[in-house]
Amino acid sequence: MIQVKHLERRYGKFRAVNDVSFNIARGEIVGLLGHNGAGKTSIMKMLTGYLEPTAGIIQVDGLAIGKQTKEIQKKMGYLPENCPVWPEMTVIDYLDYQAALHNIPPTKRTAAIAKAIARTALKDKATAPIQTLSRGYRQRVGVAQAILHEPEIVILDEPTNGLDPTQIRHMRTLIQELAKTATVIVSTHILQEVQAVCERVLILRGGRLVVDAKLAELQKEDALLLTVSQDMKQKLLSLPKVKDVTVLPAPPKRIRYRVVADPDISPAIARAVIDAGHQLYELTGERHDLETLFAQINEEVHHG
């Protein structure tokens, strides 16, 4: 659906996006993650045709940004980070204006606006002037304009910005619903948002793409954490399917290990501890969450 090859964007001598390549399949929910200044917004603006790439190729459904930008934009719904809304207009008038810009025929406009208002839970505010709305409601208006024309690709830049916890839950549900009929790209620097809604993550650092992985793969358990009362290292290494054992910091009178082994060996490890007459305090799979991965990436920068 979306192919990005060797994408680059410079502002003078500063390279905001540096040789980034990725593909996104139809129907995926992809999180674009990185600290502020990592290049997320520049990439989104280039994907949507609002910013010219310095170098590289962007193709959407076989169409090329640059040559066929207008056709590509018809397929897209875009929520910029600070969504430009007209404060003096009412929600319904603003959406009617946006529907006209999207070339939605007048006969279909009322139904399209009603559907967008229902999906973003804006019914109670439909006739309110936008300037009277809270930050969270304005954000919903931004999402409503992005999905009015039922686009094939929805690009949301910081969609939960300024939302309260209830609104955040609503936004997550909406993103998952959108993914039933569209490809969704969500840019954020909030790890929990990516973990809550995305199935794949692209992590940017200093304009470069440093991670492109499915969340399920990132969170696979490839080691066990074991805490016991006495030394078990040699005994553990003698077990079949155990590849490596590392000693980790532990509380007094306890020993903690990281055991690289097949997860199905847990019962054999528990049995070995009990047969040796030791106390078993912990035996769990080690999970790689985004927070750990993000910290590792940024430590590499720090030490590099």
Give me the CATH number covering residue 254: 3.30.70
Q: Are residues 21 and 54 in the same domain?
A: yes
Yes or no: say if 32 and 40 are a contact pair by the CB < 8 Å rule: yes
Residue from 152, 95, 99, 143 nearest 121 by CA: 143
Q: Is residue 204 part of a domain?
A: yes
List % helix, strand, coil for the chain (3-state, nearest 5): 40, 30, 35
Phi first, then psi, for residue 52 (nearest 5°) are -80, 130
Same domain, 49 and 186: yes
274: exposed, middle or buried (Cβ count in 10 Å: 0-12, 13-18, 19+): exposed
One domain for residues 282 and 160: no
Residue numbers of the domain that contains 135:
88-147
For residues 27 and 67, state if they share a domain.
yes
What's the CATH code of the domain at 27? Answer: 3.40.50.300
Query: In sequence order, what DSSP letters do the residues of 144-162 get, joined into one string?
Result: HHHHTT--SEEEEESTTTT
Instruction: Tell whether 210 and 228 lie within a shared domain.
Output: no
Phi-psi domain of 27 (left: phi exceeds 0; alpha: psi -120 through 50; beta: other): left
The total domain count for the chain is 3
With beta carbons less than 8 A apart as the criterion, state whether 171 and 147 touch: no
Flag whether 304 is in a domain: no
Distance CA 55, CA 69 (A): 16
pLDDT at res. 241: 85
Residue with tokens 């040789």: 19
Q: How confident is the model at residue 204, as a pLDDT?
A: 92
What is the tens place of the pLDDT at every residue in 167-219? 888 889 989 988 888 999 999 888 888 888 999 999 999 999 998 989 887 76
CA distance 115 to 165: 24
- What is the predicted pLDDT for the residue at 84? 78
Closest by CA position to 91, among listed 137, 147, 23: 137
Q: How far is CA 299 from CA 135, 213, 303, in A?
A: 34, 19, 6
Tokens for 36, please give them.
Answer: 């502020």
> 178, 147 in Cβ contact below 8 A?
yes
Examine the domain organization and report whether 100 and 155 are in the same domain: no
Please check whether residues 210 and 250 belong to one and the same domain: no
Q: What is the pLDDT along the chain (304 residues), one digit of tens a residue?
A: 999 999 999 999 999 999 999 999 999 999 998 888 889 999 999 999 999 999 999 999 999 998 899 999 999 999 988 777 889 999 999 999 999 999 999 999 999 999 999 998 899 999 999 999 988 889 889 999 999 999 999 999 988 877 888 888 888 998 998 888 899 999 988 888 888 899 999 999 999 999 898 988 776 667 888 999 999 999 999 998 888 899 988 889 999 998 988 778 889 999 999 999 999 999 988 776 777 777 767 665 444 4
CA nearest neighbour of 141 among 151, 154, 128, 152: 128
Residue where one domain finishes, among candidates 99, 132, 147: 147
Q: What pLDDT does 304 receive?
A: 44
Same-domain pairing of 160 and 67: yes
Cα separation, 304 vs 4, whole angstroms: 28
Residues 143 and 158 in one domain: no
Residues contacting residue 59 through CB under 8 Å, at least 6 positions apart: 2, 3, 65
